[in-house]
Structure 1
Amino acid sequence: MSIIQTYFDAFNAGDTNAMMDCLTADVAHHVNEGKIRTGKALFAEFNAHMSRCYRETLTDMVVFVNLDETRAAAEFIVNGTYLATDEGLPEAKGQTYRLPAGSFFTLRDGRIARVTTYYNLADWIAQVS
């Protein structure tokens, strides 16, 4: 099983510690509509925030890995529930949403060294408003 599949399986299980095990110590996390966060500590902080505000599972997953296993990409559907109001966004009232998204990865020594995730924020806002 690829490290990417392991990472997403951990995401869907809500196991952020297992997600962290997939990362390099200096992981660069490129957040959609946000700043780049470097290192596992900031990745863990982001995950704690996300777990408080959102409950999400990913379906319809397609993973692509290049031949030398240094780059990867995934396309999926985010199926979520908005649990707690996230600063600067609409008020959370338990709204559900379904959103296409994609992630891109740099791989190093069998671990994820970069995670970049993209989704359409305007689409998400329209669904929860």
Structure 2
Amino acid sequence: MNWKLLGLGACVNAILTGIITIIYLPLAFIGPFTGGFLVSYLSKGYEDYNGIDWKDGAVVGAISGLIGGLILALLFIWLGTWNAALESLTGNNLILISYVILQVTVLLSFILGLIGGVVGVALKN
């Protein structure tokens, strides 16, 4: 597994999703999809065989989505703790809101990264 590619995909996921979320929220799915796509499309294969199949693409896309989702969730939580409007709305439930943001962001990023990984392998072959 190429960890540099996974890091690249995770960073693309987090940065692109953060920017698109600020600009136009309904297009935020593009970030995780693009991260998973890049990781699987640029992967060369593994030691025991040549090439990469759709299962490997799904795995590397999903791992990229998980890492990118964690980065993005931590960024959202960090920005949310500094936002006075969010604190006034949530009151003492900031920990619960942060947990929900973490779970939803990581789950959606995982699924979309997995789909992007499968599509990347399909277009590569």
Q: Counting strand residues as a fraction of each chain, which structure ranks higher? A: 1
Q: Counting helix residues as a fraction of each chain, which structure ranks higher? A: 2
Larger relative contact order (Cα-Cα within 8 Å, sequence gap ≥ 6) = 2
Task: Give TM-score scaled by structure 1 length.
Answer: 0.28
Task: Give TM-score scaled by structure 2 length.
Answer: 0.29
